[in-house]
Amino acid sequence: MRKLFSRIFVVVSVLALLFTTVSCSKKDTTEEADTIKIGAIGPYTGAVAVYGLEARNGIELAIDEINANGGIMGKQVELFAEDDEGAPEKTVSVYKKLTVKDGVDIIVGSLTSGCTAAITSLAQAQKVLLFAPAATQTNITEAGNYIFRACFIDPFQGTVGGKFAAENLNKKKAAILYDVQNDYSLGLKENFTSAFEAAGGQVVATESYATGDKDFNAQITKIKQSNPDVVYLPDYYQTVALIAKQLRAQGITVAAIGADGWGGIEEHAGDEVLNGYYSNHYAADSTDPKVIEFVAAYKEKFGTTPVSFAALSYDCVYMLKDSIEAAGSADATAVRDALKDTDADYVTGHFTFDENRNPVKSAVMMQIVKDGDSLKPVYNSTVNP
C-alpha cells in the first residue's frame, strides 16, 4: 500500500511540475514575444462571405498601417485569420486552433451573431478577449466581461428603423416580412414594432418565412391587401434582394426599410431596391476626416468603397491598439480593463462602452439611390439613441 501511495505521489508531482512548466512557458512566451498576436474569425467563404472579406480587409488595413508606423509599443502586430464559413460549429473549431495552436488570446470576431455566440462562453472561461465587430444579437456580451462588441445591438437597430419610418418618413402603416428562424431578423422585427407603434404608427401586417425560402409571393399578397405605406425587411442582402423584386412585381412600391444586413445590397440587386433605406454603422460619404482617410486608404489598397463591416473591424483593431498602449501590456486581462474605459473618436463614431460592453453611439440611415447605371447607398440622416 505504501509503495502504491509513493507511486501516486510521484505521478501527481510530475503532473504538477509539467503543468507549472507549461504555464510558465506560456506566460514567458507571451511576455517575451517579438510580435503581438491578434486573431480574426469570419466567413471568408460561404453564403455571407461578402461580409467576412470586408471585415478581414478592414483588419488587414489597420494592421498594415499600425506596423508601418512602428507597431504597438515597438512590436509588430501579427494576424492569424481563420475562415468559419458562417457556420457556428466551424467557428468553435477555428477558435480552438487560434487559442491552442497559435497561442492567440485576443480575437476580433466572429462576424455574424450565431457564430460569435458559439464561442463567447469558451472565450470567457479561458480569459480570451473577444471583440465582435458586427454581432448585433442582444445576448452576445452576456457571457462575461471578456466579451465586447463594436456595433450597436439589434434592439437599437430595430428602434432606429421604427423611429425613422414614423418620424423621418412620416409613415403611418407598416408591414413586416421577417425570417422566423433567424434571431437577428426576429429581434429587429420586435423592436421595430415597438418603436413604430410608440411613435404613433400601426403595424398592419406581420408575415414570416423560413431561412432559405426563395418564394415570398403568398406573404406579399397578404401584405398588399393590408395597404401599408412602408415595409420593414429585417434580413441579409441576398434574401432582401429576392423579396424586393417580388414586392415590386406585385405593385408594392412603398419605401422599404432594413438594417445593417443590407450592407452591399447595391451590388447584388437592381432598381427594385430604390426607395430603400437601412440603418448602418457609418456612412462612407461622410465628411468626417477619419472617415475620409479610412475610405481613401481602403480604396487604394482594395479598389472598392468599404462597407460598415470593414469600418467596424478596422475600428476594433485601433481600439485594441489604444488599449494595449494604455495598459502597457498585450495581456488579454490588462487589455480588457483598458478597453472598457474607451472614450475616443474612431471611423464609425465616438465610442464609449456601457456596463455590458456594448458601445454607446448613434446610427446612420442610408438611402439607396441611382448613380448612372448603378446603385449606391448615400447618407440620409442620423438617428440618436
Chain segment 143-179, per-residue pLDDT in tens: 999 999 999 887 889 999 999 999 999 999 999 999 9
Shared domain for 274 and 193, answered yes or no, is yes
SS3 state at 207: strand
Separation between Cα atoms, residue 317 and residue 320, nearest integer Å: 5
Specify if 9 maps to a domain.
Answer: no
Handedness of CA 325, 329, 331, 335 (dihedral sign): negative
Residue 37 has a pLDDT of 98
Shared domain for 264 and 177, answered yes or no, is yes
- Give the range of the structural domain holding residue 71, as residue numbers without chain letter: 33-152+286-353
Shared domain for 91 and 168, answered yes or no, is no
Shared domain for 186 and 238, answered yes or no, is yes
Handedness of CA 40, 107, 310, 315 (dihedral sign): negative
Per the CB < 8 A criterion, the answer to whether 193 and 250 are in contact is no
Q: How many domains does the chain have?
A: 2
Per the CB < 8 A criterion, the answer to whether 256 and 277 are in contact is yes
CATH code for the domain in which residue 302 is found: 3.40.50.2300
Question: In sequence order, what DSSP letters do the residues of 325-363 get, joined into one string?
Answer: HHHTS--HHHHHHHHTT--EEETTEEE-B-TTS-B---E
Specify if 23 maps to a domain.
Answer: no
Answer whether residue 257 shows pLDDT above 90.
Answer: yes
The pLDDT tens digits of the residues spanning 302-341 come to 999 998 999 999 999 999 999 999 999 999 999 999 999 9
Shared domain for 227 and 264, answered yes or no, is yes
Specify if 209 maps to a domain.
Answer: yes
Output the average pLDDT for the chain: 91
Per the CB < 8 A criterion, the answer to whether 36 and 77 are in contact is yes
Section 68-86 average pLDDT? 98
Shared domain for 335 and 272, answered yes or no, is no
The pLDDT tens digits of the residues spanning 193-250 come to 999 999 999 999 999 999 999 999 999 999 999 999 999 999 999 999 999 999 999 9
Shared domain for 135 and 273, answered yes or no, is no
Shared domain for 228 and 370, answered yes or no, is yes
137 φ, ψ (degrees, to nearest 5): -60, 140
Classify the phi-psi angles of 113: left when phi > 0, otherwise alpha if psi is within -120 to 50, otherwise beta: alpha
The pLDDT tens digits of the residues spanning 29-55 come to 344 579 999 999 999 999 999 999 999
Shared domain for 92 and 163, answered yes or no, is no
Specify if 348 maps to a domain.
Answer: yes
Residue 149 has a pLDDT of 97
Shared domain for 207 and 263, answered yes or no, is yes
Specify if 14 maps to a domain.
Answer: no
Shared domain for 370 and 273, answered yes or no, is yes
Residue 313 has a pLDDT of 98
Specify if 376 maps to a domain.
Answer: yes
Residue environment code for 198-228, b if the CB has 16+ CB neighbours within 10 A, otherwise e: ebebebbbbbbbeeeeeebeebbeebeeeeb
Laid out side by side, the sheet with 276-280 consists of: 202-209, 173-179, 230-232, 255-258, 276-280, 363-371, 374-383
Shared domain for 49 and 132, answered yes or no, is yes
Per the CB < 8 A criterion, the answer to whether 92 and 109 are in contact is no
Name the range with the highest mean pLDDT among 32-41, 68-77, 355-364: 68-77
Grid cell locating 141: 456580451
Contacts of 225 (CB under 8 A, 6+ apart): 205
